[in-house]
Amino acid sequence: DKPTLPTDDEAVFKELAEVFGFDRYGPAHKLLGYTASGESDDWFYGAMGIISMSPEIGSESGGFYSPVEEIPGIVHRNYRRIRHALHKTGLELRRVTCSPGSSAGMMKMSLKNGGVGAGFGSHAAVAVGGCGSSPVTGKIAQIARRSDTDFEVQCPAENMSPGKSHKICIVEQIPASVTPAICRCAETSMGGETSKRAEWATPLEDDTCRAAVRSLTDPNTEILISSGVAVEDGTTSVYCDGICVRTCGVIGHTLAAVLSVTVASHRLGCLPSGSDIGCCCSQKVQCSGG
């Protein structure tokens, strides 16, 4: 069948299906031949702009009502899917590459925000490892949803030989009450393939992330010139009422069994007004994005 969605939204569904490992995906009436309670209602997408997938998950023997003792195993087996959906709600670091820069001693980093929302704040802090004894740091203009950007950092020629590995961590201007800070980190190599999917890290466990977090609050951190589409000024810190479009689950806490994965609205990127992030709600939320 020909896609019936806008090109970019269709791409988001395909990216989710690839990570989720689905051979077939789409509306229930097309896949199953009937509709069912609990499926992702088209109203969410058509009226609210919410992209969602509702996989049927469970144990091999528990049916629709799995015994309580089997739930931890179900969560464990589906954690990768839940984690990816959380990435997809906002800034999702994808397709990171590094190459020689515009002049000697400079290295170009290219990356994509594959998420359906922009990052929080006007700038994001980055740290790049592999160019010396400590990571090179700076700030870049926050990256708009579904867009590419590149920037350059200082890196000695001896650290830019073919195959040389480099790690990048990026951290957004999230509220100070959210601790520890969460970085998205990915590794790539000079002249090599694009990075694998970015992973979460915290400054408690990762030196490159720690350097990025320090530079986020350092007023002397260099603002790096970056290309691409930046987030427009004046689009942050507005309040709105409505359905929360973050994915269920709280980062840093034990995840409960999630039977329906809902990805953030492509119209709003929302953060609950409290300290927990990624939590489904139907209350006043602080929104960032246009």
Encode 117-156: b = buried (16+ Cβ within 10 Å), e = exposed. Answer: bbbbbbbbbbbbbbbeeebbbbbbbbbbbbebbbbbbebe
pLDDT in tens, 160-214: 999 999 999 999 988 778 788 899 999 999 987 778 778 889 999 999 999 999 9
Q: pLDDT confidence of 229, banded at 50, 70, 90?
A: low
| Structure confidence by residue, pLDDT tens digits, 104-121 | 999 999 999 999 988 888
The average confidence (pLDDT) of the chain is 76
Q: Where are the domains of the chain?
A: 7-89, 93-217
Whether residue 253 has pLDDT greater than 70: no
Q: Under CATH, which number does the domain 93-217 receive? A: 2.60.40
pLDDT band at 52 (very low <50, low <70, confident <90, very high): confident
90-104 residue pLDDT tens: 889 988 999 999 999
Query: What pLDDT was estimated at residue 71?
Result: 87
How far apart are alpha carbons 154 and 176 in whole angstroms? 29
C-alpha R_g of the chain: 20
Average pLDDT over residues 233-259: 30
Predicted TM-score of the model (pTM)? 0.72
Nearest CA to 197 among 101, 86, 288? 86
